[in-house]
Amino acid sequence: MSNETTADLFNLRSHNPSYFSVKDSCPYDGNLIDFCIPVNLHFPPAEMLNRIRDSLSEILRYYPDYADVHANHIAGLTGLNPETIVPSNGSTEIITKLCQQSNGPIVTSVPTFSRWTDLPTELHIPLCVIQRSRARQFRLHVEEIVDHCRRVNARTLVISNPNNPTGAWFTLDQIQELAYELNDLESIIIDESFLDFADLKSAAKFAAGTNNMIVVKSMGKSLGWHGVRLGYAATNKERATKLRKELPLWNINGLAAFILKTVLCYQNEYFESFAKVATDRIYMMTQLSTVEGLTLFASKANFLFVELPTGCSGRQLRDRLLRNYGLLIRECSNKIGSSEQYLRLAVQRKDAVDSLVRALKAELTSTAIESKAVSAA
């Protein structure tokens, strides 16, 4: 892959290219190691895969169940009231619908998941952003969010918890304080897509008792399967009923429906897998801290937000790691409120982390030498 080809492949407005596009275009002689897509590497168990394989013919032949059945399955996994659940074809289906319904202005913090910033722009809805500060480890205070919402006359607030890509977080007490202070807003949306990997309490049950809070959840990250496209929203019964009516009758495909039902048989493995990811995160943080020049920020998610040394191009480092080592990383230049000085690195297993650390040490040393040579010239 030439430098030009790599640049073209990653030249997207918000997201990275798909894993398949990178795999098909990369000349690296070996398997790629993915630090780009945050996913649960400790689930599903092999037995669950075998059950899917054995049932595949029937799964593909017949229509899947309806939304009420999926809601019951999600309720069995989460303990939520099924009447407060809106199953969706990935979290982005719900995100799109909620943005379409918003009158604006929409307030969110940046950097964040790009659909929360792209969709308001595409829909011509006023968007007002709060810049997360490096000096405060990208954490926000409840008071500044409330003040910002009042200043711009916000109608919708969107908070990702933990935040993507920084890994910064709010406690449930803080979320409840936001709900109390902003109970006149049309919507307070809490995106909990990465909450399973954190020692944080979900706001989903609390949201069911409010007039304006909606919790959005992607399940692909937790299940270890982004490709099945599963997610849901949790809100009060009246709003959940209205949201379900806005979605297609069969918005959950047969394979996703089977997985949603089958995961109930593997709940112990499912919940135990999150603790294993947390252990991997600690190891990855410890090992990356040995790389001179990197700055790491505390994270509650299954990824780490990393700042590169001054003068190091995240784009160029991404390209070299891919071509020379088969390591796929996410640099954050196309996220509003961030730059190529920052990487979001998905948590990986120990052997993969060791490979990344070796590559980073080699590449950052080489970059430092080149910079000194240019300065001396």
One pLDDT digit (tens) per residue for the chain, 377 residues: 455 556 677 876 667 778 888 888 887 888 899 999 999 999 999 999 999 999 999 999 999 999 999 999 999 999 999 999 999 999 999 999 999 999 889 999 999 999 999 999 999 999 999 999 999 999 999 999 999 999 999 999 999 999 999 999 999 999 999 999 999 999 999 999 999 999 999 999 999 999 999 999 999 999 999 999 999 999 999 999 999 999 998 999 999 999 999 999 999 999 999 999 999 999 999 999 999 999 999 999 999 999 999 999 999 999 999 999 999 999 999 999 999 999 999 999 999 999 999 999 999 987 655 555 445 55
Q: Residue 365 sits in a domain of what CATH number? A: 3.90.1150.10
Instruction: Of 252, 243, 220, 207, give the one whose Cα is nearest residue 95.
Output: 243
Whole-number pLDDT of residue 374: 46
With 0.85 as the threshold, say if the pTM is over it. Answer: yes
The domain boundary residue, chosen from 266, 291, 313: 266
Whole-number pLDDT of residue 253: 96
Q: What is the number of structural domains in the chain? A: 2
Neighbours of 174 (CB within 10 A): 17
Instruction: Of 3, 27, 12, 59, give the one whose Cα is nearest residue 257.
Output: 59
Shared domain check, 182 and 227: yes
Shared domain check, 351 and 254: no
The domain boundary residue, chosen from 251, 266, 281: 266
Whole-number pLDDT of residue 373: 46
The domain boundary residue, chosen from 266, 282, 314: 266
What are the angstrom distances between the C-alpha of 47 and each of 256, 265, 339, 344?
Answer: 17, 11, 42, 32
* Residue spans of alpha helices (H) in 43-181: 46-61, 67-78, 91-101, 115-122, 142-152, 172-181
CB–CB of 215/179 below 8 Å? no
Dihedral of the CA atoms 44, 45, 49, 54 (nearest 10)?
-140
Kindly state the DSSP code that residue 331 receives in the 8-state scheme: E
Whole-number pLDDT of residue 4: 55
Tokens found for residue 280: 């991997």
Shared domain check, 273 and 254: no
Whole-number pLDDT of residue 355: 98
Shared domain check, 31 and 51: no
Q: Residue 60 sits in a domain of what CATH number? A: 3.40.640.10
Shared domain check, 54 and 178: yes
Give me the DSSP letters along 198-221.
SS---SHHHHTTSSSEEEEEESHH
Whole-number pLDDT of residue 364: 95
Shared domain check, 194 and 285: no
Strand residue runs (E) in the chain? 33-34, 85-88, 106-110, 127-131, 156-160, 187-191, 213-218, 231-234, 295-297, 303-307, 327-328, 330-331, 342-346
Whole-number pLDDT of residue 6: 61
Cα–Cα distance, 373 to 220 (Å, whole number): 46
Helix (H, G, I), strand (E, B) or coil at 128: strand
Peptide bond into 44 cis (omega under 30): yes
| Full residue range of the structural domain in which residue 356 is found | 3-43+268-376
Shared domain check, 193 and 318: no
Paired sense of beta strands 327-328 and 33-34, if any: parallel
Shared domain check, 139 and 91: yes
Shared domain check, 202 and 276: no
Shared domain check, 123 and 58: yes
Shared domain check, 245 and 290: no
Tokens found for residue 332: 């954050």
Shared domain check, 180 and 77: yes
